[in-house]
Amino acid sequence: MTLDSQATVSAEIAAIAADAEAAGFETVPQPQLAYPPYRSSVLRSPTRDPKHADPETIELWAPAFGHRDVDPLEADLTIGHAGEPIGERITITGRVTDGEGRPVRHQLVEIWQANAGGRYVHKRDQHPAPLDPNFTGAGRCLTDGDGNYRFQTIKPGPYPWRNHHNAWRPAHVHFSLFGHAFTQRLVTQMYFPGDPLFALDPIYQSITDPKAREALVATYDHDVTTHEWATGYRWDIVLTGASRTWIESVDAAGEDH
Amino acid sequence: MTTTPLTPTPGQTVGPFFHYGLPYDGDRDLVLPGSAGSIRLSGTVYDGAGAPIPDALVEIWQAAPDGTVPQEHGSLRRDGWTFTGFGRASTGRDGSYSFSTLEPGATEEGRPAFFAVTVFARGLLNRLFTRAYLPGPAIESDPFLSLLSDAERATLLATPTEHGFEFDVHLQGDSETVFLHHG
């Protein structure tokens, strides 16, 4: 099979972007599920609009995770191996809130990523970049009492994929999040500022509203950077979706410390 | 005082390489398979060509059999005794997934019981929500289900099997599953 060129895919991206801009963008900014420049979406996106269903009680609650589930050491992806991983050591931190700005407390955050060479520890990743014996690239943490999470890792590299000829993904970290309610469940990707591959990447561009997709880009934050140790990035996350009536005492009562 | 709601963080695909990040030991066994009261919830995730999807991830979140909402910790480190109500299963090479769990109770008086289901996959740019309803008399009178056509409703009904229920997910096609938004 002959793969399309980047120019072909970029032209498709530009055409969809122009249509979206003319339509004034979506009111709720999310990726366009059927997004042909991302070839795999063609057969894997629903063709009908989702049906509105008032959430029932179970959907207004989220699974509860605690310190039995997550070891604090799991937030540091640079440890647990015989040596130090290769790459630029970074800290990623931020706050998880709901749409009203209320913290998502004591809730699970999971991440996974490629190594500094752009290689995943996955049998289906055939990119001939080296595996790093000192880096697996998966981590977890619980948010604190104010919704903050923090990971220590190394900066992932960009990597090639087979969507089209000479296709490269911008460097990113995958994030999985739970909110106050199951309706807020989110899996997404965090990107790094100034990546030259943004304009070329159909996954990032599937969010047609530029302001909305920029919300996936972390900010370099010198206050997060630590002296002679790691550079720091801040990325806040907003989980919206129907939720039960906010009861401060109940939500603050989760197991902690 | 009203505040302007914050803009939600957009979703992105789970991608092809989630297998070392999201699955964990015991993820699909909310209870030990074959233990007292255990049932199997299984199915296959299909694409628009009718091909099974080997790189999808299905999550369930459910009430206990008595209809209470579990808030116990321990989904990631199961102790074999605590029912947490949450499970996660990646699909196999044949697109199939399987959970060992308990039959959920309804969380609303008079409404049918269901598993809340989320679906993720490479090629799927954002997660999808749906419900796998258990058969029973409350299905007929449910106000949400009665808004759907027969064909649509059929996509949300789990089918009884020898050990529990079967619930296939079709991302596209003639039997495209009804997906939900709760906004």
pLDDT of residue A27 exceeding 80: no
A157, A168 in Cβ contact below 8 A? no
Task: Report the mean per-residue pLDDT for chain A.
Answer: 93
Q: Is A1 on the interface with B (CB under 8 A)?
A: no
Cα dihedral A255, A244, B147, A48, rounded to 10, equals -70
Q: Which amino acid is at A215?
A: A
- Please state, for a pLDDT cut of 70, what percent of chain A lies above it: 93
State residue A18 phi and psi, 5-degree precision.
Answer: -65, -40
Q: In the block, which residue shows the tokens 């609303």?
A: B108
Tell me the C-alpha distance between A183 and B130, whole Å.
10
| DSSP conformational letter for A14 | H
pLDDT bin (cut points 50, 70, 90) of residue A242 is: confident
A149/A72 Cα distance (integer angstroms): 11
Q: How far is CA A234 from CA A134, A149, A210, B91, in A?
A: 25, 10, 19, 34
pLDDT at position A257 over 50: no
- B48 vs A122, higher pLDDT: B48
Model confidence over A128-152: pLDDT tens digits? Answer: 889 999 999 999 999 999 999 999 9
**ipTM higher than the 0.90 cut:** yes
Q: Do B61 and A108 touch (CB under 8 A)?
A: no
Question: How sure is the predictor about A103, in pLDDT bands with cuts at 50, 70 and 90?
Answer: very high
Phi (first) and psi of residue A198, to 5 degrees: -50, -50
Residue-level pLDDT at A122: 81
In the 8-state DSSP scheme, what is residue A188?
E
User: Hey, what are A168's tokens?
Assistant: 């490269």
- Contact between B123 and A44 using a beta-carbon 8 Å cutoff: yes
CA distance B126 to A126: 25
Task: Let me know: does A233 contact A220? Beta carbons within 8 Å.
Answer: yes
- The rounded distance, in Å, linking the Cα atoms of B116 and B138 is 17
Q: CA A8 → CA A4, A12, A55, A210, B157, distances in Å?
A: 6, 6, 42, 21, 42
Residue A210: which H helix or E strand, with range?
Answer: helix A210-214
Residue A246's pLDDT is 56
For residue B126, CA distances in Å to A45, A142, A159, B153 come to 9, 23, 21, 23
Question: How open is the CA angle B53-B55-B59, to the nearest 5 degrees?
Answer: 95
pTM over 0.80: yes
Given a contact cutoff of 8 angstroms between Cβ atoms, the answer to whether B57 and B88 are in contact is yes
- The pLDDT of residue B5: 82
Binned at pLDDT 50, 70 and 90, residue A237 comes out as very high
Q: Which of residues 46-65 of A touch B (CB under 8 A)?
A: 46-48, 50-59, 61-65
Indicate yes or no: CB of B9 within 8 angstroms of CB of A44.
Answer: no
Q: Which residue of B has its CA nearest to A163?
A: B123
Cα dihedral A190, A198, A20, A22 in deg (nearest 10): 130
Q: Are B112 and B134 in contact (CB under 8 A)?
A: yes
pLDDT at A252: 45
pLDDT of residue A105 exceeding 70, the answer is: yes
| More confident: A2 or B178 | B178
Rg for chain A (alpha carbons), in Å?
A: 19
Is pLDDT above 50 for A250?
A: no
pLDDT digits (tens, 9 = 90+) for A181-227: 999 999 999 999 999 999 999 999 999 999 999 999 999 999 999 99
Comparing CB atoms, the residue among A43, A238, A255 nearest residue B48 is A43
A55 falls in which pLDDT band (50, 70, 90)? very high
Q: Rounded to whole angstroms, how far apart are CA atoms A106 and A99?
A: 17
- Per-residue pLDDT at A254: 46
Kindly determine whether residue B5 and residue A99, on different chains, have CB atoms separated by under 8 Å.
yes
Spatial contact of B59 and B167, defined as CB atoms under 8 Å apart: no
Q: How far is CA A130 from CA A121, A122, A153, in A?
A: 10, 12, 18
Distance, in Å, from the CA atom of A80 to the CA atom of B48, rounded to the nearest integer, reads 42
Burial class (CB within 10 angstroms; exposed 0-12, middle 13-18, buried 19+) of A163: buried
**Alpha-carbon gap: A37 to the closest alpha carbon of chain B (Å):** 11
A51 pLDDT band (50/70/90 cuts)?
very high
Whether the Cβ atoms of residue A181 and residue A241 lie closer than 8 Å to each other: yes
The DSSP 8-state label assigned to residue A157 in this structure reads P
Q: How large is the C-alpha radius of gyration of chain B? A: 17
- The pLDDT of residue A123: 76
Q: What is the pLDDT along chain B (183 residues), one digit of tens a residue?
A: 455 788 999 999 999 999 989 999 999 999 999 999 999 999 999 999 999 999 999 999 999 999 999 999 999 999 999 999 999 999 999 999 999 999 999 998 899 999 999 999 999 999 999 999 999 999 999 999 999 999 999 999 999 999 999 999 999 999 999 999 997
In chain B, % helix, strand, coil (3-state, to 5) comes to 10, 30, 65
Q: Tell me what pLDDT residue A256 has.
A: 44
SS3 (DSSP) at A72: helix
